Structure 1
Amino acid sequence: MEQVYSAQLDDKLNQLHSLRHDMKNHLIVIDGYASQHNDRKIHEYIHNICEDLSLTNAVDSGSHIVSALIAEKEDKAKSQNIRCEINISTPGINIDDFSITTIIGNLFDNAIKAAAECEHGWIRFSITQAGSYMNIVIENSCSGNIIENNGEFTSTKNDKVLPHGIGIKNVRKVVSNLNGHIDFSYASGYFSVKAELPNYS
């Protein structure tokens, strides 16, 4: 998994470097269209550049693996028309790759599955540092009201176990092994998870 995410990040960075390398040539082309007063061509060319830039979105978390993981999950969410807000503000991640991948991967996957069932799905994800602890918070839209039963979450809309139940046991176990703490909160159309983990330098 680490190799896959690392390769994905390297690919994104290579795309970005390639685009920057060619930027001078792109500007020459745009300037040529401008001298011809060809507004339509200018618009189309800039639109194509913007599409390339959107593919090179890279998250800077201070961890090669975490950056690639979050970027991949964000791309997956956006491909399903889910609005994403990502906020990373930490001096560094000092948690082993296996543990942090288990936590973020499962929580983000569950959020995507739940938000995809909403007409206007959204996800807010953040990593912040408070003292010697790192806070991972992921909030998302979901359909129906939420009912918790023995650690599983059910939606009153379809009376099915929400995808939040998938992988939650693994997440709880990893957080416990790290001597951290995890909280779940929910309301109508809303679900939130906050994990507080020791993150010593």
Structure 2
Amino acid sequence: MYDIIYNLTTLILYAVTSYYFYKVISNFSSVKDNKYAKFTSILGAYLIPNVIIYTSDIVNVFYTMIGFILIMVVFYKSSYIKNISAVMIFYPIVVSINLMANDFCAKVYIYLGETLWMDYFAQTLEMCIISFSWFLIYHFSKDKLSNIGRYIDIKTWIMIDIICLAPFISIITTIINTPLGKEYQAYPIAIACIITSLSMIFLIEYIVKNVKNRLENQNLKLEYSYYRELEENQKNVRKLHHDMNNHLSVIYSFLEYDNLEGAKDYFNELSDKFNVSNRVFCKNSIVNAVINSKYNLAIQNQIDCFFNIDIDEILPLEDIDLCSIFSNTLDNAIEASLKLSDISQRKISLKARCNKGYFSYSISNNYNGVIKFKSGKYNSTKLDANMHGFGIENIDDIVKKYSGTLNITYTECEFNLLAIIKI
């Protein structure tokens, strides 16, 4: 009877630890969309945080580390560098907590009496400590690790990995070189590794906030520039209205003397002088500023644009997310269009609207037929591809944030992206 209760308790505590460990890693990176990846990631979440760690134990330490790395690299979606960062941050926490919990509970077992009941109690206490630790880590990190994929680039992940390398190596060498019976000697390093890893989560949150603020400032600058230009256009229109009689008199004089060329030239001069470059695509001022910026850039590069935008109602999307969708897709479309030597083929069609409780966003553009697709991701065709190609990945992260769907299709000459989010 007691064996059944103990085994049931063990199973429950293992499941709790696995659940919170899995949630922590899922906040960091997403599992690939296939049953094998999901099964393996769940299995890894069961085995990795529950592993028993002793000092002078090479086998469990290295098997856990190698297994963790393989699962993150093979079965998770994000870039290899980012997934390795998850190992660098959380592996020292795993082995440090498990080492100290095992040693502490072993001492409790010896102190209270080496009986079967004390053995059950000590093992249950160890699992409780580990479960509660991951419960706390999850609630500590869940908000800090949200949307990190959209705001941290490869260079920053490499920097984070380099910083984590010292505690990562320190805890491994400490566990291997500390003799049995002197586990207390490893405590300072283990505690330092846990603090360092948790501090890295604070650092990641700080970086994300800075990048997000920078993007918001860029959008606000675009909005400010848009309103300045709009105000200037309105001044020009008022000037035109004020001098209209004079301008009409000049044009009439040209026509009266059958000087059609002079009338045309004067009219064209007026058109250029009072040309309004800004358009009102939607009532969201920040989004409108972003679209205007990209639209003007496209027109300057002789790209034929068709924009049909109807998103006047309030959306449950953050402005920075909405702007990211427009700016990333339009940047990609403009970049692809500029690679076409035949100017007549440079075309971008964008449609965005709210209808029947859904926000739909569709953009299509012609391209040169070259697409790099690797490991389930679209890669940049730029020479420095390692520093680019995150636009679609960012859009995918945004759409998933709002539980939407993203569909990408392409032919030999046309690329299409469709995002749908329930509002």
Provide the TM-score with structure 1 as the length reference: 0.85
Question: Is the CA contact (8 Å cut-off) linking 1:90 and 1:127 kept in structure 2?
Answer: yes
Structure number having the greater strand percentage: 1
Structure 1 residues 146, 138: closer, same or farther in 2, change over 3 A? Answer: same
* CA contact 1:58–1:68 (8 Å) conserved in 2: no
Contact 1:181 1:195 in 2 (8 A): yes
Matched, 1:87 2:308: yes
Task: State the partner residue of 1:177.
Answer: 401
1:91 CA drift (Å): 3.3
Higher RCO, Cα 8 Å, sep 6+? 1
- Say which of 122, 142, 145 aligns to 2:367: 142
Shift of residue 64, structure 1, vs aligned partner: 0.3
The 1-side partners of 2:274 and 2:364 are apart by 26
Match for residue 35 of structure 1 among 253, 265, 271? 253
Match of 2:332 in 1: 110
Coordinate RMSD, CA, aligned: 2.6
AA partner of residue 194 (structure 1): L
Partner Cα separation in structure 1 for residue 314 and residue 413 of structure 2: 31
Alpha-carbon displacement from aligned partner over 1:142-179 (angstroms, at most 9, x marks no partner): 00254633221588xx9x97x99342111111111122
| 2:390 is the counterpart of 1:194 | no
* Cα 1:53/1:148, change in 2 over 3 Å: farther
Q: Do 1:146 and 1:187's aligned partners in 2 also have CA atoms closer than 8 Å?
A: no
User: Based on CA coordinates, which of the two structures has the bigger radius of gyration?
Assistant: 2
- Greater share of residues in helix: 2
Instruction: Give the aligned partner of residue 377 of structure 2.
Output: 151
Return the letter of the residue paired with 2:329.
Answer: L
Q: Give the Cα–Cα distance (whole angstroms) in 2 for the partners of residues 90 and 31 of structure 1.
A: 43
2:299 is paired with a residue of what secondary structure? helix
Whole-Å separation in 1 of the counterparts to 2:380 and 2:231: 43
Is the 8 Å Cα contact of residues 361 and 418 (structure 2) preserved in structure 1? yes
User: Structure 1 residues 97, 23: closer, same or farther in 2, change over 3 A?
Assistant: same
Per-residue deviation at 1:80? Answer: 1.1
Identity among equivalent pairs (%): 21
- Distance in structure 1 (CA, Å) of the matches to 2:264 and 2:336: 36
| Aligned 8 A contact 2:237 2:274 in 1 | no
Q: Secondary structure at the match of 2:263?
A: helix
Deviations 1:78-103 (A, max 9, x none): 11111111111233242211111111
For residues 16-70 of structure 1, the C-alpha deviation after alignment (integer angstroms, 9 at most, x for no partner) is 2112202231452233232242433322232233334544331231200111111
Q: Output the amino acid matched with 1:125.
A: L
Q: Which is worse superposed, 104-113 or 28-37?
A: 28-37
Change (3 A) 1:83 1:104: same
Q: Which runs of 5+ in 2 are unaligned?
A: 1-217
SS in 1 for 2:302: coil
Residue type at the aligned position of 1:187: T
Match of 1:23 in 2: 240
Alignment: residue pair count: 196
Alignment of 1:37-56 (within 5 A): 37=255, 38-52=259-273, 54-56=275-277
